[in-house]
Amino acid sequence: MPRSFRRSSRRWLAVPVALAAAATAPAQSGTVDFPRDVRPILAAHCYACHGPDAGARKADLRLDRREDALAARDGGAAIVPGDPAASALWQRVAATDPEEVMPPPDAHKPLAPEQKERLRLWIAAGAPYAAHWAFVPPVAAPVPSLPAADAPTPIDAFVRAPLRAQGLAWNGEADRATLLRRLSLDLTGLPPSADEVAAFVADAAPDAYERAVDRLLASPHCAERLALPWLDASRYADTNGFSIDGGRHMWLWRDWVIAAFAANKPFDRFLVEQLAGDLLPDADDATRTATGFQRNAMITHEGGTIAEENLVTYGVDRTKTFGEAVLGLTVGCAQCHDHKYDPISQREYFGLFAFFNQTSEPAHGGDGGHNAPPTLDVGTALPTGEEDALRARIAALQAQLAAPARDVVDAWVAEQRLRLAARGKGLALHRCAPTTISTPNTGSGFRIADAQYAAVDRPMSALAFDVAMELPATSSPITGLRVVMHADPSKPAEGWGWGGGKDGKRTFALTCLSVSVGTVRSDQVNLYGLTPIARVTASSWQESNDGRDRPEGALDTPAGSGWMPDIAAEGPVHLTATFAEPLPPDARHLTAQLHFGRWGELTARRMEFFAVSGNDDGTDLPPAILALVQYDGPLPDAERQQLAAYVARHAPALELLRVALKNAEERLAVRTQKFAAMVMDTAQQPRPTHVLHRGAYDQPREPVAAGVPAALPPLPAGVAADRLALARWAVDPAHPLTARVAVNRFWQMLFGAGLVRTPADFGTQGELPTHPELLDRLAVDFVRHGWDVRRLLRQIVTSATYRQSAVVDLASRARDPDNRLLARGPRHRLPAELVRDHALAVSGLLVRQLGGPSVNPYTPGDPWREISHFGSSPATAQAFVQDHGEKLWRRSLYTYWKRTLPPPNMALFDAPNREVCVVDRAATNTPLQALVLLNDVTFVEAGRAFAERIVQRAADDDARLRWAFCEATSRAPAGEDLAVLRRALHRERARYAGDPTAAARLLAHGEAPRTTAIAPAEHAAWTQVATLLLNLNDAVTKP
């Protein structure tokens, strides 16, 4: 075992000296402690030139190892133990001549007088070195002895012994309501209900708290809460990240993570399966799915990129993530040169890199929404037991849709008749002269023909054409746009398009039509000002194919649906879009983007455009249905059923049912079928790894075998150096880092900051632990008890330290603003996901489904398309498509994460973009966050739904307000609070009673159905009160 791994009986090598008291000096015991007092100075000010990095080393002097620092050099030594005056280090540090002084002025790292003094005292005391604490395996120190009342648990003894020694007090226990709220948010990420709070406060049993802990730890939502930080560390996302950032499918891995936490899988096994689940002797589908951890790395399919460069980039990310997420080391620093601060040479870096450089993963992959290989078809690893209920629900929904109520059918028919009666009224067509046509990926093969047509002269795959045209002057407002598709007049038999079709007649699929207008010409459709289209009809379409070829398929962005005419139709075919509002009179120019996105030459040949005034004369009813709608008199049964079936598929009144059925069917498929998961494997011919000069892929130097840094324990002898060996090495009980890093992360989740406050850097540049013995004790205990996460969490949350009140007076806070002494309880802003989850839970909207593919809840507009490659690529996730029904209210860890544009309402609350490993989110406080909570439809709808719960909860206002306040904050309102709320309620009631339109508008936010049992003005008034409650500081704070 390397020297640095020998257990030292004197871990904190202390030299008694008389040190001048300094406000910033951590030394409080009058000793200079090398790891605590000296190494940080050497590391920050000296190691860059005199540290582990051989390449950057100046004057051939190395100060990070004692033997080098003491070595004889011409005329002396850098350090002469016990004799500062004879030590070159001290002479240079103390020098005033800018030519002499160290660090040199141009390094911008001058030493403070107090730091210099510490170095002098340390040399005077013999310049003792000690191994960096984090590279020495933890030893469980004896629990300091304190009276049991002061320290009910060992954690408390470690926290409170130093407080007592300094004569400092600690805080009392938080009130019970606060405790339950803290505990619930910490362990499940969801607030307790007012009823749960009341029950807990009333529970006088001595084990009430412990039972609450057990209940919350057993909740399936605990697994979701624990998964959240691990998704950050693992840079989990739903898109590939680089360049075009197309969609991928990694949710099976996320399901695995949740399942692992739900089953309390031992944390060492949790890591091993993710690092090497494919290599385990008992490997199965689940352990292989776990290796998706490493496939979360960003990839690209951009054709111009260089294969070798991409592969190095992927490996670099895996190595860095392994270092930061598992080892708590910034190994990535050693990619280009030896680590400047920690004992990791560049060669050792590539030894680690080599473990991850042996897969068959291609350099380019992930286009078209297909997972890049290697993949594995597997089912979800997360049991939920909901399948039978799902099947029953599907059957019930199908039955409901199979027999739509007679009044629904009648209402729909009446609506159609009204529409048919208005059909074609005042219709006039005005030809538009196209001025330009363009398409992103080719410069020829398309043109404006005869100043009348936009013509495509040859087959092209999946292209968007932008056609600019002048709008003719019309006497009545322009209400729509008609696109007429012609065959080539010289070859009419070849059809309107360039692909598909039948018997030599070719066709097209118009998958997305977008329009913008303006006072000036625009060659490209203006994505910031798209003209909303209310509806669309066509002269002909294919009704078969599940309705995917109907005209309305041209109104959405996905290429799966799009307008395709019936191939048997004769002559030109046309589609008419009716705008939501007539065009403004000053609109002179129109640009249409026609996206033929099915990737099979399904483009049109010859397009002609007409501005429409008056009413569209088309219908979206197939001829047979049209006849039934127009039929006067009772329909025979068969026809009635035919009509009902059509209504079931298309009536807006049944949309919620259809969405519910579709979601349920998809959910059942997710629960029972297999999907492709991205996994790790070992290539038949693993790539050789070389040291890359300056980290550059094209500058390989000597070959390197997989191996671990010498400063850490060695791999066991006789074991193949593969990922499994690396994984087992990392979780070996003798490993100094992994368990400490893990317990520190869980501590961080609960306290807002770890015992080591640089959770990804346990190296010499990282912060020292605030409570080293506690960290070590917890780590040793964690390993000794089988890496039992639930046990660890229970230990922490049942400590008096955790249960302390967070409330302290000014003086105490000023003494320890960051709560490093842990003399008070934790209090901090909730992570982004939990801010949204909190609102969903309080409002009652939350859908408590576990796992499954990611969902797209409300987002303003289509921010993806504004920055993406939509129109030029078969990659998915190029345009945002909002989901509906239950998918709008899932927990936020299931929200689709597009790396180049993560959900804005969470990014504003410091959620990372998941491009790289993140283990320490910031918690900022900005006006933009206020705007999210006040104005985002997510939160407005939550207010509306919460209002419903409030009104239905009790009969009188005060009871409602009391309950609502407690439901939202877990505390009872004070008298002054109630007064404010009452006043607000009365004010808003008056307001909405006098303005029913405003009430209706407010209540129209969101897609959750609204009860009709509450009068709109009353509902709107309570919505405002609910919104107020959901904006309280409590809504974003763990107390």
Partner 1 sequence: MNARSDRLPDAALRPARRAFLASAAGGLGQIALGSLLGGCAAGPGASVAGAAPSGPHFAPRARRVLVLFQSEGVSHIDLFDDKPSLHAHAGKELPPSVRGSQRVTGMTSGQGSFPVVPPLLPGKRCGQSGLWISDLMPHLQAAADELCVVKSMHTEAINHDPAITLLNTGNQLPGYASMGAWASYGLGAENADLPAFVAMVSQGSGKNPGQPIFSRLWGSGFLPSSHQGVGLRPGADPVLYLRDPDGVARDQRRAQLDDLQALDARHAEDVQDPEIAARLAAYELAFRMQTSVPELADLRGESEATLAMYGSDVRRPGSYAANCLMARRLLERGVRFVQLYHRGWDQHIALARQLPNQCRDVDQATAAVLKDLRQRGLLDDTLVVFATEFGRTAYSQGALGDPSSGRDHHGRCFTMWLAGGGVRGGFEHGATDDFCYNVASEPVHVRDLHATILHCLGVDHERLVFPFRGLDTKLTGVEPARVVRAILA
Residues within window 761-790 making contact with partner 1, judged by CB under 8 A: 761, 763-766
Name which of 689 and 758 has its Cβ closer to partner 1: 758
Return the range that interacts with partner 1 (CB under 8 A); candidates 271-279, 283-291, 442-450, 775-783.
Answer: 442-450
Site for partner 1 (CB under 8 A): which residue of 6, 211, 491, 1001?
A: 1001
Distance, CA of 187 to CA of 196 (rounded, Å): 15
Please report, as a single letter, which amino acid is at residue 614. G
Decide: is 862 part of the binding site for partner 1 (CB under 8 A): no
Binding mask of the shown chain, residues 508 to 537, with x at each position contacting partner 1 by CB under 8 A: ----------xxxxxxxxxxxx--------
Which of 618, 733, 746 lies closest to 230, judged by CA?
746
Decide: is 964 part of the binding site for partner 1 (CB under 8 A): no
Distance, CA of 37 to CA of 28 (rounded, Å): 11
Helix (H, G, I), strand (E, B) or coil at 899: coil
Return the range that interacts with partner 1 (CB under 8 A); candidates 365-373, 485-493, 719-727, 807-815.
Answer: 807-815
Return the range that interacts with partner 1 (CB under 8 A); candidates 125-133, 411-419, 547-555, 972-980.
Answer: 972-980
Interacting residues of 746 by C-beta distance below 8 A, sequence separation 6+: 789, 792, 793, 796
What is the nearest approach in angstroms of partner 1 to the Cβ of residue 1025?
9
How many residues bind partner 1 (CB under 8 A)? The answer is 141
Name which of 524 and 682 has its Cβ closer to partner 1: 524
Return the range that interacts with partner 1 (CB under 8 A); candidates 6-14, 284-292, 572-580, 867-875.
Answer: 867-875
- Within 193-222, which residues bind partner 1 (CB under 8 A)? 194, 197-198, 201
Q: How many of the other CB atoms lie within 10 Å of CB of 621?
A: 18
Decide: is 114 part of the binding site for partner 1 (CB under 8 A): no
Interacting residues of 20 by C-beta distance below 8 A, sequence separation 6+: 114, 117
Distance, CA of 175 to CA of 158 (rounded, Å): 24
Helix axes 937-953, 957-969, angle to 10 degrees: 130
Decide: is 587 part of the binding site for partner 1 (CB under 8 A): no
Site for partner 1 (CB under 8 A): which residue of 51, 192, 241, 434?
A: 241
What is the nearest approach in angstroms of partner 1 to the Cβ of residue 517?
10
What is the nearest approach in angstroms of partner 1 to the Cβ of residue 316?
8
Query: CA distances (Å), 787 to each of 77, 138, 335, 620, in order?
Result: 47, 15, 31, 62
Q: How many of the other CB atoms lie within 10 Å of CB of 186?
A: 21
Name which of 667 and 838 has its Cβ closer to partner 1: 838
- Within 686-715, which residues bind partner 1 (CB under 8 A)? 698
Name which of 132 and 667 has its Cβ closer to partner 1: 132
Name which of 423 and 828 has its Cβ closer to partner 1: 828
Q: At residue 148, what are phi and psi to the nearest 5 degrees?
A: -55, -30
Name which of 621 and 1035 has its Cβ closer to partner 1: 1035
What is the nearest approach in angstroms of partner 1 to the Cβ of residue 247?
13
Name which of 680 and 1020 has its Cβ closer to partner 1: 1020
Name which of 340 and 728 has its Cβ closer to partner 1: 340
* DSSP class per residue in 581-635: SPPPTT--EEEEEEEETTSSS--BSEEEEEEEES-----SS-HHHHHHHH--SPP
Site for partner 1 (CB under 8 A): which residue of 88, 840, 1020, 1026?
A: 1020
- Within 282-321, which residues bind partner 1 (CB under 8 A)? 298, 300, 302-307, 313, 316-317
Name which of 410 and 818 has its Cβ closer to partner 1: 818
What is the nearest approach in angstroms of partner 1 to the Cβ of residue 21?
25
Decide: is 332 part of the binding site for partner 1 (CB under 8 A): yes
Binding mask of the shown chain, residues 385 to 424, with x at each position contacting partner 1 by CB under 8 A: ----------------------------------------
Helix (H, G, I), strand (E, B) or coil at 795: helix
Decide: is 64 part of the binding site for partner 1 (CB under 8 A): no
Decide: is 934 part of the binding site for partner 1 (CB under 8 A): yes
Site for partner 1 (CB under 8 A): which residue of 419, 977, 1008, 1018?
A: 977
Across the chain, which distance is largest between two alpha carbons, in Å?
Answer: 115
Helix (H, G, I), strand (E, B) or coil at 830: coil
Decide: is 1014 part of the binding site for partner 1 (CB under 8 A): no
Name which of 459 and 547 has its Cβ closer to partner 1: 459
Decide: is 967 part of the binding site for partner 1 (CB under 8 A): no
What is the nearest approach in angstroms of partner 1 to the Cβ of residue 243?
4
Decide: is 954 part of the binding site for partner 1 (CB under 8 A): no
Distance, CA of 6 to CA of 53 (rounded, Å): 24
Count of H-run helices and E-run strands, the chain: 35, 23
- Within 819-838, which residues bind partner 1 (CB under 8 A)? 827, 829
Query: CA distances (Å), 621 to each of 75, 628, 631, in order?
Result: 99, 10, 14
Decide: is 926 part of the binding site for partner 1 (CB under 8 A): yes
Distance, CA of 756 to CA of 1017 (rounded, Å): 53
Please report, as a single letter, which amino acid is at residue 973. P
**Helix, strand and coil in the chain, % to nearest 5:** 40, 10, 45
Decide: is 58 part of the binding site for partner 1 (CB under 8 A): no
Exposure pattern of 202-229 as b/e (b: 16+ CB <10 Å)? eeeeeebbeebbebbbebebbbbbbbbb
What is the nearest approach in angstroms of partner 1 to the Cβ of residue 1022?
13
**C-beta of residue 481 within 8 angstroms of C-beta of residue 534:** no
- Within 449-488, which residues bind partner 1 (CB under 8 A)? 464, 466
Return the range that interacts with partner 1 (CB under 8 A); candidates 33-41, 539-547, 556-564, 999-1007.
Answer: 999-1007
Site for partner 1 (CB under 8 A): which residue of 13, 15, 449, 916?
A: 916
Distance, CA of 603 to CA of 921 (rounded, Å): 47
Helix axes 723-730, 346-355, angle to 10 degrees: 110
Decide: is 4 part of the binding site for partner 1 (CB under 8 A): no
- Within 156-175, which residues bind partner 1 (CB under 8 A)? 175
The residues with which 591 forms a beta bridge, in sequence order, are 468, 516
**C-beta of residue 904 within 8 angstroms of C-beta of residue 863:** yes
Site for partner 1 (CB under 8 A): which residue of 93, 226, 250, 333?
A: 333
